[in-house]
Amino acid sequence: MNGPRLRSRLNERGRRVTAPRLVILDSLDRTAKHLSVREIYLRVHRHDPSCGMATIYRTLDLLVQMGMVMKFDFGDGQTRYELTEEHSRKEHHHHLVCRGCDTIIDYTEFIRDEIELLDKTMKGLSRKYKFAIDSHEIVFKGLCERCRKAAEKD
């Protein structure tokens, strides 16, 4: 994990470095998945059985407010979390979400036309609304190949 850097980020914001905070950050750092609260709780509970769900929720809310963790609602009824790019080994990415099986795919291979369109869109929105855009999140929803094939068989 980016231990020293994540610890210093907590400290520089005047936040204590606590076991639940470190275990949550470590759990998010060690996976390519977008973890639900329940999945995070199970991982934290292995290290600290006394840590309850309320602590997990409070800690996640704090880490989101601090900009260390991103919170997603992909429409599957579960809030999911991942480290922000600044604190992660992942590069900027978008998400493909299958409505059939809830698979989430990190989409990182952008083509030149996409980059140009996004850049033009962000500049246009910034100008129109006098809004300084510093990041964006894009989620594409549909059916993965496996779910499409299964639907064709029915």
Q: 98 or 19, which is more confident?
A: 98
pLDDT of residue 122: 92
Q: What is the mean pLDDT of the chain?
A: 84
For residue 104, name the pLDDT band (cuts at 50, 70, 90). confident
Report the Cα–Cα distance between both ends of the chain, in Å, rounded: 45
Q: With 80 as the cut, is the pLDDT of residue 27 above it?
A: yes
What gap in Å lies between CA 77 and CA 80, rounded to an integer?
10
Q: With 80 as the cut, is the pLDDT of residue 78 above it?
A: yes
pLDDT of residue 1: 46
Closest CA to 104 of 79, 85, 67, 86: 79
Q: 93 or 27, which is more confident?
A: 27
Residue 143's Cβ-count burial label (10 Å; 0-12, 13-18, 19+) is middle
Can you tell me the mean pLDDT for 98-119?
Answer: 84
Can you tell me the mean pLDDT for 99-123?
Answer: 85
For residue 5, name the pLDDT band (cuts at 50, 70, 90). low
Amino acid of residue 92? H
Structural domains in the chain, CATH included, are 1-84 (1.10.10.10), 91-154 (3.30.1490.190)
31-69 pLDDT tens trace: 888 899 999 999 988 888 888 999 999 999 999 988 888
Q: With 90 as the cut, is the pLDDT of residue 73 above it?
A: no
